[in-house]
Structure 1
Amino acid sequence: MANSTRKNSMHAQVEWQQGMQFKATSGSGHAVTMDGDKTNGASPMEMVLMAAGSCSSVDVVSILEKAKQSFERCEVAIEGKRADSVPAVFTDIHMHFIVYGTEVAPKHVERAVKLSAEKYCSVSIMLGASVNITHSFEIVAV
């Protein structure tokens, strides 16, 4: 692999375990179980949703911290709608961010979500080329 030494190159390995269960290992050595039957792990399409939510959450948390917002939790509920026919690709994904904290300014949360969606989240931006991705947020005072 000539490109594997490049800084922006990534790799992973997926190994069949049994049935529809697979062990996926990242290039950094972290492993997750995926299961096409969803009995012993998340399905590959669920992993796509989780990857988009995690990627965007990293951005939102980072931006809120830099804006010195006082929050103690950030969650994102992700809903994906899939095509009725094979391949059952995602047609729509909605991410709803919930930020828990005191005196969290809505303008900062809105800005963080927007920057993630439009500039920083590689996963969402990549998916957005073929999927309608929408975002919303709420702030819960604690």
Structure 2
Amino acid sequence: MEFIMNEEGFQSDFEFGTLKVSSNDQFGFRPYALLVSSVAVCSGGVLRKILEKKRISFDDIKISADVKRNPDIANRVEEIKLHFTIIGNDISEDKVEKAMNLTRKNCSMIQSVQDSIHVVETFEIKNV
């Protein structure tokens, strides 16, 4: 990857488009939002694969992220709370709990930040 500076921040071109990154959200994605998005979406993608592999039927997964930042230390991200809503019928809570544990172990983004950012995962199951 190569990032090129512009007046508002930096950008990089990928096969699927240009990624614009800026500390001003009027000009691109903010770095902390990309960090949180990477953790959330990596975790969600791994969970999806695990549920499918275990033949646990579901209709959708939604993820909400709550971020705690420390304004006294460069506004650093200290905690990310991920709440997964798994939508479907007849989903076993025990099986999802086991899938969540596997997800944490196999998500490269969580494994990358686990010693510096506290990541908390919760879930709920909603019937269709």
Instruction: Please confirm whether the aligned pair reaches a TM-score higher than 0.5, indicating the same fold.
Output: yes
Q: Which residue of 1 aligns with 2:36?
A: 49
- The letter of the residue matching 1:90 is V
Q: Which residue of 1 aligns with 2:75?
A: 88
Alpha-carbon distance in structure 1 between the residues aligned to 2:63 and 2:76 = 21
Identity of aligned residues (%): 23
Residue 32 in structure 1 maps to residue 13 in structure 2 = no
Q: Which residue of 2 aligns with 1:18?
A: 7
- SS of residue in 2 equivalent to 1:135: strand
1:98-137 alignment runs, 5 A limit = 98-117=85-104, 119-137=105-123
| Higher RCO (C-alpha 8 Å, min separation 6) | 2
Alpha-carbon distance in structure 2 between the residues aligned to 1:41 and 1:128 = 27
Q: Which runs of 5+ in 1 are unaligned?
A: 1-11
- The letter of the residue matching 1:66 is K
TM-score, normalising length: structure 1: 0.81
Contact 1:81 1:93 in 2 (8 A): yes
Contact 1:59 1:112 in 2 (8 A): no
Q: Which residue of 2 aligns with 1:63?
A: 50
Deviation at 1:63, TM superposition (A): 0.6
Q: Which runs of 5+ in 2 are unaligned?
A: none
Q: Which residue of 1 aligns with 2:126?
A: 140
TM-score, normalising length: structure 2: 0.89
Alpha-carbon distance in structure 1 between the residues aligned to 2:126 and 2:109 = 27
1:49-80 deviations in Å (ceiling 9; x for gaps): 00001110111000111111221111111111
- SS of residue in 2 equivalent to 1:18: coil
Contact 2:8 2:27 in 1 (8 A): no
Q: CA RMSD in A?
A: 1.5
Number of aligned pairs?
A: 127
Alpha-carbon distance in structure 2 between the residues aligned to 1:45 and 1:122 = 17
